[in-house]
């Protein structure tokens, strides 16, 4: 767990998780992850955002697989079909559109693609986890935050705006990101049901 908050360190260490204190000046979680793994030997680094507590272990495999299958892929993320109108309209839900092989064309907090014509494409939300080859992570922290990154508050734009490809893999695992107090209550309710049912997933 990479953090800049002593309270988080205390919380995760109390359940046996190793915590790494990092600079409070990082503009994104990916910058923080890069510092945390600076002395770690790893060819591939997976960043699971702290606001995604319902990530399934299988999703780690899904986000890494494109890197293992294709040497040309250096950065990946996950996307999940949007089925609720509220999610499509929610600015806290980052939407993603890709080309036919899954390379990201654009991220937005607005509704994209917009269903203006008779044919409506499936809308996807981005899941808050990424995987990087180490050179990609090193390149990321060498760049200043970019205009679209700051406009949409989506850090993977930093790669797109420098001409890099980001591959989005589809996942059928549903997650609930914690962006608001209401989201936190939803996740707490899901975890309560999970614990009562003896299952490890929501």
Cα→Cα distances 1→32, 56, 58, 75, 110, Å: 10, 17, 19, 21, 31
Q: Which CATH architecture has domain 47-175?
A: Alpha-Beta Complex (3.90)
pLDDT digit string, tens, across residues 13-40: 999 998 889 999 999 989 999 999 888 8
pLDDT digit string, tens, across residues 55-105: 899 999 999 999 999 999 999 999 999 999 999 999 999 999 999 999 999
Q: What is the phi/psi pair of residue 43, to 5°?
A: -85, -30
- The structure tokens 């970019």 sit at 146
Q: Report yes or no: 34 and 52 within 8 Å, Cβ to Cβ.
A: no
Q: Report yes or no: 46 and 63 within 8 Å, Cβ to Cβ.
A: yes
Q: Report yes or no: 92 and 61 within 8 Å, Cβ to Cβ.
A: no
96 CB neighbour count, 10 Å cutoff = 24
pLDDT digit string, tens, across residues 47-68: 998 888 888 999 999 999 999 9
Task: Indicate the domain borders of the chain.
Answer: 1-41, 47-175
């Amino acid at each position: 767990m990479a953090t800049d908050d002593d309270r988080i360190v205390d919380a995760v260490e109390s359940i046996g998780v190793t915590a790494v204190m990092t600079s409070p000046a990082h503009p994104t979680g990916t910058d923080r992850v890069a510092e945390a793994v600076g002395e770690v030997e790893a060819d591939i680094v997976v960043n699971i955002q702290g606001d995604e507590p319902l990530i399934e272990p299988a999703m780690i495999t899904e986000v890494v697989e494109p890197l293992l299958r294709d040497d040309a892929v250096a950065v990946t993320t996950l996307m999940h079909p949007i089925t609720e109108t509220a999610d499509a309209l929610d600015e806290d839900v980052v939407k993603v559109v890709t080309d036919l092989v899954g390379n990201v064309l654009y991220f937005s907090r607005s509704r994209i693609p917009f269903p203006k014509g008779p044919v409506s494409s499936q809308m996807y939300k981005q899941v808050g986890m990424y995987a990087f080859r180490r050179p990609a992570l090193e390149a990321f922290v060498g760049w200043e935050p970019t205009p679209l990154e700051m406009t949409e508050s989506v850090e993977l734009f930093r790669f797109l705006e420098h001409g890099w490809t980001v591959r989005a893999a589809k996942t059928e695992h549903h997650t609930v990101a914690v962006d608001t107090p209401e989201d936190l209550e939803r996740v707490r309710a899901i975890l309560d049901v999970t614990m009562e049912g003896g299952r490890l997933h929501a």
